Amino acid sequence: MTSAMEQLAAQGQSVWLDYIRRDMLENGDMAAMVADGLRGMTSNPSIFEKAIAGSNQYDDDIERFVAINPSATPVEIFEHLAIEDIQAAADILAPVYERTDGADGFVSLEVSPTLANDTDGTIAEARRLWAAVGRPNVMIKVPATKAGIPAIETLIGENINVNVTLMFSMDDYEAVSHAYLRGIEKAPDPSRVASVASFFVSRVDTAADNQLAELGDVAAPLLGMVAIANAKVTYQRYLELFGDDFEAQWGKGAFPQRLLWASTGTKNAAYSDIMYVEGLIGHNTVNTLPPATLDAFADHGSADVAALVEDVDDAHSVLEQLTAVGVDLDAITDQLQTDGVQAFIDAFEGLLGAIEEKRSALV
């Protein structure tokens, strides 16, 4: 029987898991998922906060590390734990990376969110993490902030794989995609560098719906429609930039920078729990799914339709109607990026505080 992930792969879409925890790396769960069609994994400060602070799986490792490094800071302890997990995940995904000639099989590790507005600091940390992990199938996550854009170009130009995160708008995508294109022009070997552009989805609906609900019946038809419309229009721009003639145009074996759909768990219980899976199926894309959404799609999802190229005119119409009723999508997406950076900073600081508490209790 074909798995849900294999059904999506038949449409040209890779499934990555938006989750990491040590037990799944050690007990064979992740290896089983890879055998079932999983092609990648993403992490972020919130995911690591839940994994490390929310379980005792890392306590022995913390105790051993601090015994050897008694002056280690919480940041150093976190990086030790995270890098071990990322290396283990990368090794499990290595066969996918090799089978796809470097097009897939990646695991992502984020630079500190406190550097989101620091170009030089982001570049330095990305270089350091890339070297520390020491795996060709790791991607370093860099936010699509104004400071992040030049960092992306520099890192791609140094053959460092980048997962660009916290993209919400077409403006974000234009800046990110052109940073990638400038980067691969400089890369020593464009065939050995890859990137994804992580476009966040459900948070857009949550924010837009809050404003639409205040407008009453005139705006009701737009509820739950904005995020997928925003994604479809952006995918059309992807096809213009990275279409079938991309490799012929750029040569040197360069990979297109795939769009990755992020924040794909449904936030509104009134909506389908797989709306951001079925509604975002398309060739040469990635969907990074939290475990519950992946399970839901496996249970009752369908991958029969490449939805990203269906009803594109309707998607444009939704965005036009949004403007007509007085909702400013650009203002929404700008705020979402600012809030996203802050949420990751809060999670990172919470994680470091939890690590300090664990160290004090264990040592």
Q: Please report, as a single letter, which amino acid is at residue 185.
A: E
Provide the angle, in degrees to the nearest 10, between the axes of the packed helices 170-186 and 148-157. Answer: 30
Sort 242 into a burial class: Cβ within 10 Å, 0-12 / 13-18 / 19+.
buried
pLDDT of residue 251: 61
CB 9, CB 103: distance < 8 Å: no
pLDDT of residue 362: 74
pLDDT of residue 187: 93
Length of the chain in terms of residues written:
363
Annotated catalytic residue: which of 141, 186, 232, 358? 141
Residue-level pLDDT, tens digit, the chain, 363 residues: 578 899 999 999 999 999 999 999 999 999 999 999 999 999 998 999 999 988 899 999 999 999 999 999 999 999 999 999 999 999 999 999 999 999 999 999 999 999 999 999 999 999 999 999 999 999 999 999 999 999 999 999 999 999 999 999 999 999 999 999 999 999 999 999 999 999 999 999 999 999 999 999 999 999 999 999 999 999 999 999 998 777 666 667 889 999 999 999 999 999 999 999 999 999 999 999 999 999 999 999 999 999 999 999 999 999 999 999 999 999 999 999 999 999 999 999 999 999 999 888 876
Q: Say whether 358 is catalytic.
A: no
Domain tally, the chain = 1
Q: What is the 3-state secondary structure (H, E, C) of the chain?
A: CCCHHHHHHHCCEEEEEECCCHHHHHCCHHHHHHHCCCCEEECCHHHHHHHHHCCCCCHHHHHHHHHHCCCCCHHHHHHHHHHHHHHHHHHHHHHHHHHCCCCCCEEEEECCHHHCCCHHHHHHHHHHHHHHHCCCCEEEEEECCCCHHHHHHHHHHCCCCEEEEEECCHHHHHHHHHHHHHHHHHCCCHHHCCEEEEEECHHHHHHHHHHHHHCHHHHHHHCCCHHHHHHHHHHHHHHHHHCCCHHHHHCCCCCCCEEEEECCCCCCCCCCCCHHHHCCCCCCEEEEECHHHHHHHHHHCCCCCCHHHCCHHHHHHHHHHHHHCCCCHHHHHHHHHHHHHHHHHHHHHHHHHHHHHHHHHHC
pLDDT of residue 178: 97
pLDDT of residue 1: 54
Q: Are strands 285-289 and 106-110 parallel, antiparallel or unpaired?
A: unpaired
Report which of 47, 276, 236 is spatially closest to residue 141, judged by C-alpha positions.
47
CATH of the domain at 334: 3.20.20.70
Residue 80 tokens read as: 């030790």
- What is the extent of the structural domain holding 67? 4-362
Residue keyed to tokens 């980067």: 183
